[in-house]
Structure 1
Amino acid sequence: MTLPIAAALALTGCSGTDESESGSSPATEQTTSAQATASESAPATTEATDGASDEPEASNDVDDLPDYVKPYPDSEVVSASIVKAHNDKDSKKPEQISLVVRAKAETKDVFAYYEKELGKADYEPLGDEVKTKSARVLNFRHKDNDSVLVVTVADDAGDKKHKVVTIGGNIVP
């Protein structure tokens, strides 16, 4: 159950806020609803699968994310997750990752930081920055495999001085 929700969050590059802060945009409301559902169905600790389960292995620890997917400097981590999209030992199958932080920063500075950090891991921008009513989005792809990451920056509905930054997508380890 948590895999489709994590995938939806990671692939759409959405960011969310607490339900008390929702109402600022449809994207925020949709993500808040998905996060509420995810928090009801998944514990906040690291999960591991046993041999009888069909659920993939998952972690909610920011330290389990790849080194190049790190919190923006001086930011507050809201959530972090990595879900293996498989149960076997084949390390070439994709993993779904997501990191959400609150940062007091300008959007251009956030994009410049992640362009530099992801660039060190052979990611390059994919297309142009997309501006929506409530967010700005920049996609990245790995030069040598099918890994794709989405960086989304939106105003924090509860504090206009802060941004909510989401990094998510599918990576091939």
Structure 2
Amino acid sequence: MVSRTAVMTLPIAAALALAGCSGADEGTTDSTPTSEQTSSAQATPSDSETASAEASEEATGQDPDTSNDVKDLPDYVKPYPKSNVLSASIVKAHNDKDTKQPEQVSLVVAAKAEAKDIFKFYDEELGKADFEPLGDEVKTKSARVQNFKHKDNDSVLVVTVADDSADKAQSIVTVGGNIVS
């Protein structure tokens, strides 16, 4: 069974994987970390624990800049028609008045529809908001992923359609990423 946590983190993992898909420098012959790099990475678990605690606080809605209401999401991040909303959130950036910082958005729905129809819907809806596909659709055994980038800013959204192990007739759809408002 695919957990909601796994479905919600899949777009983040996919984005991180794509961000890390750059080739090695010409001068680099070995990509194995040195013992100093490994020790350094292991010596700072408190940083990741702190970040995890902060993310958990934001996800639970305790932060006043967080909303779990689908109505607070941008108009183009909308539930697939006739779907069941499982979760929705937007974490507003702590913006300076003169700078634009990204906001994190996430929408998870259960939809009884084919993946191709779901992708077509989001391609059209996000296209209306000047998003375009970024790269090719990625297919795995149980999910399909498409990245979208805004034409005029650094906004990036990831649409994931995963099999619902509890109900083979429906899919779990996640739309999430960082937007610049």
Q: CA deviation at 1:87?
A: 5.3
Match of 2:78?
70
Q: Distance in 1 between matches of 2:161 and 2:105?
A: 17
Q: CA deviation digits over 1:133-160, x for unaligned, max 9?
A: 2210000000000000000001111000
Name the TM-score, length of structure 2 as normaliser: 0.67
Report whether the alignment pairs 1:127 with 2:128.
Answer: no
The structure-2 alpha-carbon separation of the partners of 1:107 and 1:9, relative to structure 1 and needing over 3 Å to count, comes to closer
5+ unaligned residues in a row in structure 1: which ranges? Answer: 1-6, 15-36, 49-56
The structure-2 alpha-carbon separation of the partners of 1:47 and 1:9, relative to structure 1 and needing over 3 Å to count, comes to farther
Question: Are the counterparts in 2 of residues 150 and 169 from structure 1 also a CA contact under 8 Å?
Answer: yes
Q: Give, as a single letter, the amino acid of the residue that structure 2 aligns with 1:117.
A: E
Q: Runs of at least 4 residues of structure 1 off by over 3 A? A: 7-10, 40-47, 87-91
Q: CA deviation digits over 1:115-145, x for unaligned, max 9?
A: 0000000000001100112210000000000
Q: Give, as a single letter, the amino acid of the residue that structure 1 aligns with 2:173.
A: V
Q: Distance in 2 between matches of 1:139 and 1:90?
A: 28
Q: Give, as a single letter, the amino acid of the residue that structure 2 aligns with 1:62.
A: V
Match of 1:99?
107
Q: Percent identity?
A: 67
Q: Based on CA coordinates, which of the two structures has the bigger radius of gyration?
A: 2
Cα RMSD of the aligned pairs, angstroms, is 2.7
How many residues align? The count is 137
Name the TM-score, length of structure 1 as normaliser: 0.70
Aligned with residue 172 of structure 1, among 163, 177, 180: 180
Report whether the alignment pairs 1:143 with 2:151.
Answer: yes
Alignment of 1:29-108 (within 5 A): 41=57, 47-48=63-64, 57-86=65-94, 88-90=96-98, 92-108=100-116
Alignment of 1:145-160 (within 5 A): 145-160=153-168
Question: Are the counterparts in 2 of residues 139 and 148 from structure 1 also a CA contact under 8 Å?
Answer: yes
Question: Are the counterparts in 2 of residues 13 and 169 from structure 1 also a CA contact under 8 Å?
Answer: no
Q: CA deviation digits over 1:65-103, x for unaligned, max 9?
A: 000000000000000000023254456110000000000
Q: Distance in 2 between matches of 1:93 and 1:43?
A: 18
5+ unaligned residues in a row in structure 2: which ranges? Answer: 1-7, 16-52
